[in-house]
Structure 1
């Protein structure tokens, strides 16, 4: 019984796993197997009945891949939510801003979250920072997140892996604990 109690206090947050993230327009990315790792984690969470939250980005910019009604705004089939799983929609990178996510977690006694999704340096990092600042024990699953190549402030093109690694480094220790999916099994 005690083990079930602990399990119920860890939620899986699946961030922005929408069809637009798998198009060429999204850019060059790292972690090509991230969706498979996410699907395995999602399957495990479902099997043991842990809370799952899906977060979908809805753009305020018409013409965006994530504009309401566009195919890019739809969830990827492999990672689509089930009816029993909660969905939050956001308009900014941080899943806690203007969504009710914090209240939803507190109402269920959830004090730990495991974050997967995209992109590591944007929505994942923003959500993890706020999660940690709000006092949630936060885990970011490194092999179940990915980023895109990006120019830095000095206009140097950074690879998707460099962007991913720097975002994880920004989070590690201060806001979150960075784990692989297999390491996450040890904290469940």
Structure 2
């Protein structure tokens, strides 16, 4: 089992209620919440830092805009006392936010990411984090994404979208682990 550095920071990304209803397509990972909550519980028990990321859309029709019910965190995913929240309006948790500054003030060189969606905000955050010099760990079984129109009248299944993005991230941007490996490494 990998041992995580003491300064590793857990970053849940966009664990919001909007993704459970229209207009969002079908998701594939039925264990998203179970795995994400296990990560949070283990991280909190180890007294390690967590920085939550929430998407606050600026698009008027978005289910993720701050005043929309879907903007709320999924049950159990809201920050607890002392856990900071970073809000973003684009696909990357590092763009237009103070996430990088917060991590540098903590002395963090490793970030552990999970959330929704693998191919959008999670992937973009992994790539930017790696490009900023962080060791990035992606918890692949605590991520989820949606069926994706292929532009030719068909649909790419969410599980296939996830697998392709995880493979790309593993190849160049992140170490890819599973929830059980992370929990054991704490």
Q: Normalising by structure 2, report the TM-score.
A: 0.93
Partner SS, residue 76 of structure 2 = helix
User: C-alpha separation between the residues in 2 aligned to 1:150 and 1:64?
Assistant: 18
**Deviation above 6 Å: which 4+ runs of structure 1?**
none
User: C-alpha separation between the residues in 1 aligned to 2:127 and 2:153?
Assistant: 25
Instruction: Kindly tell me the number of residue pairs found equivalent between the two proteins.
Output: 184
Aligned position for 1:177: 175
Partner SS, residue 146 of structure 2 = coil
Cα contact 2:42–2:183 (8 A) shared by 1? no
User: C-alpha separation between the residues in 1 aligned to 2:34 and 2:133?
Assistant: 29
Partner SS, residue 61 of structure 2 = coil
1:16 aligned to which of 11, 14, 17: 14
Q: Normalising by structure 1, report the TM-score.
A: 0.92
> Counterparts of 1:1-188 in structure 2 under 5 Å?
6-7=5-6, 9-185=7-183, 187-188=185-186
User: C-alpha separation between the residues in 1 aligned to 2:180 and 2:49?
Assistant: 19
1:63 deviates by 2.0
1:76-112 residue CA offsets vs partner (Å, 9 max, x unmatched): 1221111210100000010000101011101110110
Partner SS, residue 80 of structure 2 = coil
Question: Which one has a larger percent helix, Structure 1 or Structure 2?
Answer: 1
Unpaired runs of 5+ residues, structure 2, are: none
Question: Which is bigger in relative contact order (C-alpha 8 A, separation at least 6)?
Answer: 2
Cα contact 2:39–2:182 (8 A) shared by 1? no
1:155 deviates by 4.3
User: C-alpha separation between the residues in 2 aligned to 1:152 and 1:174?
Assistant: 24
1:139-162 residue CA offsets vs partner (Å, 9 max, x unmatched): 111110011000224443100001
Aligned-pair RMSD on alpha carbons? 1.6
User: C-alpha separation between the residues in 2 aligned to 1:106 and 1:154?
Assistant: 44
